[in-house]
């Protein structure tokens, strides 16, 4: 198409502007750098109040519910539409996923759909395999894919990448309140810590361990899938990018570490694919289905799986 035709210009896949890059820098400092400082503060605060059952419980429970919000909500439901969920379940998952501080649901979905579109090729927002050869290239690639890419990156146009989601008015409303959900994710463990221990030190400890440390831990788990599992691990299924499985991390990643399986069958709500591969995210989807809150689970057939199997 030439410039003088009357036809509209094709929709851009990514948007880049000083305003967007300012927002990205702010998000990076607030939600990627600040949790590191908060985690250091949590260890320093051990001098005031030791790590006990309360801290462990708040860290574990907040990690579990926000982690499930990311893998089941953000990833398996909204990005890949691997099942249908009751509207209130979908909204709850979007809120819990937002609390993880990894971006609003629309941006997260758009970035992740672009990752699948360009995996390990030019255009992938976070490939560890495009930073040159040799050991130095691998280290540069891992640092980029794990953390540094978030400072400044091409912003995927949500009109192009998430047209189905922007039609969902309830989800758009949840996405608009993203910063409030992150704040709520910090407030809840602080209040619980204070009330359960009936002390201010308990409230601070709750904020630090159930808030900042929990965000820090979950972020690094999710980022490790973008970085390390696109470089190391096993590859049982044929897929065009460099994704791998890391089976020993299945529980701690809530099933996300079956990343080669996921790239081979992105439409599947199960990332483990077989019952003996631990996949807590899929267990929750099965539980929702058993309660009538989820339907149309698109698990691939045995024949499709065998056709792609290489190891
Ligand atoms: Zn995916
Ligand atoms: Zn991937």
Query: Token pair of 166, please?
Result: 């922007």
* pLDDT at residue 5 is higher than 90: no
Per-residue pLDDT, averaged over 271-299, amounts to: 97
Interval between CA 213 and ligand 1 midpoint (Å) = 25
Decide which of 8 and 129 is more confident. 129
Measuring CA to CA, how many Å separate 123 from each of 13, 116, 118, 126, 270?
10, 10, 6, 9, 27
Ligand nearest the Cα of residue 260 is: 2
Per-residue pLDDT, averaged over 279-307, amounts to: 96
Question: pLDDT value at position 11?
Answer: 78
Give the mean pLDDT of the chain.
Answer: 95
Interval between CA 220 and ligand 2 midpoint (Å) = 15
* pLDDT at residue 195 is higher than 80: yes
Decide which of 88 and 310 is more confident. 88
Ligand nearest the Cα of residue 239 is: 2
pLDDT digits (tens, 9 = 90+) for 10-38: 679 999 899 999 999 999 999 999 999 99
Ligand nearest the Cα of residue 112 is: 1
* pLDDT at residue 9 is higher than 90: no
Helix 53-68 × helix 178-197 angle, to 10°: 160
pLDDT digits (tens, 9 = 90+) for 119-140: 999 999 999 999 999 999 999 9
Question: pLDDT value at position 311?
Answer: 67
Interval between CA 108 and ligand 2 midpoint (Å) = 13
Interval between CA 37 and ligand 1 midpoint (Å) = 29
Measuring CA to CA, how many Å separate 239 from each of 143, 210, 230, 233?
24, 37, 12, 14
Per-residue pLDDT, averaged over 142-155, amounts to: 95
* pLDDT at residue 47 is higher than 90: yes
Interval between CA 122 and ligand 2 midpoint (Å) = 14
Question: pLDDT value at position 7?
Answer: 62
Question: Do 246 and 232 meet the contact criterion of CB atoms below 8 Å apart?
Answer: yes
Ligand nearest the Cα of residue 80 is: 1
Interval between CA 111 and ligand 1 midpoint (Å) = 10
Per-residue pLDDT, averaged over 93-105, amounts to: 98
Interval between CA 275 and ligand 1 midpoint (Å) = 20
């Amino acid at each position: 198409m030439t410039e003088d035709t009357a036809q509209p210009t094709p929709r851009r896949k990514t948007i880049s502007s000083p305003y967007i890059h300012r927002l990205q820098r702010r998000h990076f400092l607030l939600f990627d750098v600040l949790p590191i400082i908060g985690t250091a503060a949590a260890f320093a605060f051990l001098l005031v109040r030791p790590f006990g059952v309360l801290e462990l419980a708040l860290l574990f429970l907040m990690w579990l519910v926000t982690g499930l919000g990311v893998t089941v909500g953000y990833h398996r439901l909204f990005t890949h539409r691997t099942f249908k969920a009751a509207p209130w379940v979908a909204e709850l998952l979007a809120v819990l996923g937002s609390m993880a501080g990894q971006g609003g649901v629309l941006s997260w979905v758009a970035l992740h759909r672009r990752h699948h579109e360009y995996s390990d090729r030019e255009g992938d927002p976070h490939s560890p395999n495009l930073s040159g050869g040799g050991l130095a290239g691998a280290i540069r690639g891992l640092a980029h894919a794990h953390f540094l890419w978030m400072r400044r990156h091409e912003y995927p146009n949500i009109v192009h990448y998430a047209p189905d989601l922007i039609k969902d008015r309830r989800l758009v409303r949840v996405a608009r309140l993203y910063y409030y959900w992150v704040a709520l994710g910090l407030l809840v463990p602080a209040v619980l810590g204070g009330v359960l221990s009936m002390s201010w030190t308990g409230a601070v400890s709750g904020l630090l361990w159930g808030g900042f440390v929990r965000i820090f831990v979950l972020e690094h788990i999710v980022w490790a899938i973008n970085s390390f599992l696109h470089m190391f691990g096993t590859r049982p299924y044929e897929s065009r990018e460099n994704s791998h499985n890391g089976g020993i991390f299945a529980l701690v990643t809530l099933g996300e570490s079956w990343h080669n399986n996921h790239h081979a069958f992105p439409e599947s709500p199960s990332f483990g694919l077989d019952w003996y591969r631990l996949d807590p995210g899929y267990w929750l989807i099965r539980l929702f289905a058993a309660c009538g809150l989820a339907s149309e689970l698109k698990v691939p057939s045995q024949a499709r799986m065998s056709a792609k199997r290489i190891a």
